[in-house]
Amino acid sequence: MATVNTWQLQASSRFAEIGLPSPKTDARELLKFVLGLSDTALFLSSDREVSEDQAARLLALIDARAARIPLQHLLGEVEWGGVRLKSDGRALIPRPETEWLLQLALEALRGRVNPRVLDVGTGTGALALGLKVARPDAAVTATDISAEALALAQENAALNGLDVQFMQADLLQGLAGPFDLIVSNPPYLPDADQHSADPEVRYDPHLALYAGADGLSVARPLLVQARAALVAGGVLLLELDPRNAPTLAAEARSLGAVAEVLPDLAGRERFVRASWPTR
Ligand code: GLN
């Protein structure tokens, strides 16, 4: 029988050997999950012996992670933007940089009472639910083209007891608006990136990631449709790729918007904010 500490060290060194980016975190999260312990409790239990049952479950999960199945899918959920989100192959795993988009969205809503908000391509429901939990007065609508993703988003709304209106739609098709804020983390990677993606990224839906040769084949029509669906002074906020965010901001300006590129926490040109002062 091996102790918690031994398991943790062994898992972590196995993950490090095969080049996983966060071997220690992955080992710790899997141990916490199987043993049902918090960070602190895990630390305090390091000399405890792992039962045979737990050992079998751990081994299966460590093998799966070593086979590059994403940690979030193994744990089945993520903490994101103040909500708990089930995460599986039906939608993109919510990313940390998108939490910053949520912050920008909340900033854009400051001073607006009972705002009408739209999340385009909601995936797990991350942005829509993060917005609703922080701004219960907002009327939040969320769309996705994928029925599977919407089913997951609805499960996540129920899990968090949040009231968001979900609709299956291609971008803003069939939506009347007008909205005070339209937020989206659309697919934005150039198609060629699929050849260099990390193995974990294969578990995200292709549809959620790639958008043509320049990565703007979804954001571009979204920009045009959003313009017609915003109130005067309403805001469009997009997450993009640092290689194409400046291009989209320039295109927004050529459509009469006041637009700027905003950096993420690592200083990369990641977000575009566009607003049309008059309609
Ligand atoms: N809006 C979801 C998220 O940010 C899904 C994004 C996507 O699938 N491109 O996590």
Report pTM: 0.94
Residue of 128, 8, 109, 23 whose CA lies nearest to 65: 23
The answer to whether 80 and 97 are in contact (CB under 8 A) is no
Joined together, the tokens standing for residue 100 give 């910053």
ipTM over 0.90: yes
d(CA 61, ligand 1 centre) in Å: 26
Domain 4-67: top CATH class: mainly alpha
Distance between CA atoms of 252 and 273, rounded to whole angstroms? 9
For residues 249 and 252, give the distance between their C-alpha atoms in angstroms, rounded to a whole number.
Answer: 5
Residue 130 assigned as binding residue: no
Domain with CATH 1.10.8.10 in the chain: 4-67
Rounded average pLDDT over 94-106: 97
What is the assigned CATH class of domain 89-275?
alpha beta
Enumerate the CATH 3.40.50.150 domain ranges in the chain, comma separated: 89-275
Instruction: Compute, in degrees rounded to 10, the torsion defined by CA atoms 271, 252, 241, 222.
Output: 100
pLDDT per residue over 179-219, tens digit each?
999 999 999 999 999 999 999 999 999 999 999 999 999 99
Nearest to 135 by CA among 99, 155, 154, 109: 109
| Protein residue with least CA distance to atom 3, ligand 1 | 94
- d(CA 251, ligand 1 centre) in Å: 22
pLDDT score, position 278: 77
